[in-house]
Structures are given as structure tokens and as C-alpha cells.
Amino acid sequence: MAGSRRHAVLAVASRDLSRAREFAARFAIPRVYDAYEALLADPEIDAVYNPLPNALHREWTERAASAGKHVLCEKPLGVSADDAAAMVGSCARHNVALAEAFMYRHHPQIDRLQALLRGGAVGKPWLVRAWFSFTTGPGNIRLDPALGGGGLLDVGSYAVNLSRLVLGEPVSAAAEAVYEHGVDVRLSGLLGFPGGRAALVDCGLRAPLRQGCEIVGTEGTITLARPFQPEDHPAVLHLATARGTTTEEVPGTNQYTVMLDDFAGVVLDGRAPRFPPFDAVANMRALDALARAARTGRRESVAPAAAGE
């Protein structure tokens, strides 16, 4: 955010005032609040970033909206599609912008991937394989079911989102999962799309540190080595077809800053968002179906879009 030309970080709020002061000192933030309500009452704040645990996204996004603040909310937008839809509705009623903080979508490598697919570089995509996992330590909030924990809602949301970015909206889901502390710590799933297309996704909080994506088309494949967190390093795309194999390198960039600049364009310029908030609701519908499938052991339908989306 400090690297964005269109943002000024005015305040930080924490339940622990000493932690807020420490954070503010580190980043030269002028105002510190020991309650979220106090930050929302500040008339000079235009927008808030909501990075709270998943189960708190809805409450504090809706409270921010009612205070007239635009909201950039961490992914996933809620803990269910109903949650996410309620948040979208609340922000619309209060005439404030809402964006889901899926930073990876704003990286130039994703723009290049979409250009290759539009240009028919690998024919018609019919299969996506996407994976994202790591091992978290004890006491991590991702292991707390009361806070909306679990690998699916954390790193799994990326794999699902990228699959939808390539293939559109899924219609069915099947999944297997391992659970600890009431949350999924390893999950693999199959999303079914119209026309016999599919996405194989896997994620985990008790698994090796790994990320990647392969798009299989009727005429070749595109592989992204680091689709979600390339950091500031160059991103690499591998294209393989009957004509041969090529590698493209996309210069490194701060994808968080690019995301923030896009959000600023929506708030300050009235520009249409690249990824409208109802996309977050659609992502949650797929996540909901995978979660149900893992619990029931059955193939589950993905709920269709509601009227007006």
C-alpha cells in the first residue's frame, strides 16, 4: 500500500494497542486505534482493508459499509456464499465499493495467461490442475473452526479461483479431505464444468510448501510455476504444443500494489472493477460445494447464480 501512488495509510486498529503502536511506528502510520469501531468513526478515512479471520469478514465489512467506508476484504470474502452475498448487498445498499483481495489475479502473468488462452495458443482448455499448500504451526488461526479455518478456505480458494478464471463456472464437485481440530488440513477435489471440462484442485495446511497450475487444452499445455505468490521475482510460463516448447518470463512486480491501484480506480474514478464482487460469491459457491462433498462423500451440485448477479 505504501508503494501505491493513490493511497495514504492514515490509521491502523488493533484490539491490542501496543501491537497497533508497534505496527504504526514500523510503517509511519499517523493514527492508532484500539478498537475497530473508532477507526470506522474517523471521518477522514475513505476505505478500509479487512484482513481479519474469515469468520469476521462479514461483520466488519458490513459495519464498515454502514459507516460509509469502501472495503477491500481478504479472500475468501466470507465463510459461505450466503455470507458473501450478504456482504455484496450491504455494500451496494450503502453505495460503497467492495473488492475481494485476490492479489494474484492482478499480476501481469495472469494477463499473459488470459491473452494466450484467448489467442487459442493451446486450443480449447478442458482441464485445469491447480495446487497450493504449506504447513502451518500450532496455534495458527487457520486451524480454528470458529474463525473459519481450514485449507480449503485459505489456499484452496486460490486454486478454485484460478480454475474458474480459465473454465468459467463449475456445476458439480467431489472431494476427499483429512481433518484436524475440526478443519480440513489436506483436501483434493474435482470440479465439473459444462462440456466435459474439469478442474483438479488440491490444498493443505499440513502438506509440503508448493504451488502451481497446469492448463491442458486440446492442442497443448500452459504451466505456471508460481501462479499465486511469485513475489517480486520474474514469473515463468511454459507453453508446450506440437510445434514445440517455449518459455515466457514476465517481469516481477508487486501484485498487491497493482491490486490496490485497481481498487483506487474504482473508488476515486468510478471505474468498473476488473473483478466485480459477485465473482467472490461465485467462488464461494464452488468452495461450499467442495466442502459439502468432502463431508458427505458424494458428488455435490454447485448452486447456480442468483438473479441479478
Residue 237 belongs to domain with CATH number: 3.30.360.10
18 and 116 belong to one structural domain: no
Q: What cell was used for 149?
A: 479455518
Q: Which of 75, 107, 186, 197 is catalytic?
A: 75
Q: Do the Cβ atoms of 9 and 264 come closer than 8 Å?
A: no
Kindly state whether residue 174 falls inside one of the protein's structural domains: yes
Owner of C-alpha cell 492514515: 10
Q: How many Cα atoms are found within 13 Å in the side-chain-facing hemisphere of 305? A: 11
69 is catalytic: no
SS3 66: helix
The label of the residue with cell 510460463 reads 237
- Name 144's Cβ contacts closer than 8 Å, sequence gap at least 6: 53, 181, 183
Shared domain check, 187 and 83: no
Asked if residue 213 and residue 190 are part of one domain, the reply reads yes
| Element at 89 (helix H, strand E) | helix 81-93
Burial 103-141 (b: 16+ CB within 10 A, else e): bbbbbebbebbeebbeeebbeebbbbbbbbbbebeeeee
pLDDT attached to residue 194: 97
- Separation in Å, CA 135 to CA 116, 132, 184, 203: 33, 11, 12, 11
Q: Quick one: pLDDT at residue 152?
A: 98
Q: What is the full DSSP assignment across 207-228?
A: EEEEEEEEEEESSEEEEESSSS
CB 145 within 8 A of CB 227: no
Q: Would you state the pLDDT for residue 5? A: 87
pLDDT digits (tens, 9 = 90+) for 233-248: 899 999 999 999 999 9
Q: How many CB atoms lie within 10 A of CB 71?
A: 28
**Is 4 part of a structural domain of the chain?**
no
Residues of the chain with pLDDT under 50: none
User: Both 83 and 186 in a single domain?
Assistant: no
DSSP count for the chain of H helices, then E strands? 8, 14
Copy the grid coordinates of residue 208: 509440503
Whether residue 270 is found in the same domain as residue 294: no
Cα separation, 266 vs 278, whole angstroms: 15
For residue 186, what are the domain limits? 107-253+283-301
Query: What pLDDT does 229 receive?
Result: 95
Which set of grid coordinates corresponds to residue 7? 493511497
Are 219 and 152 within one domain? yes
55 and 99 assigned to the same domain: yes
Residue 177: its pLDDT value, please? 98
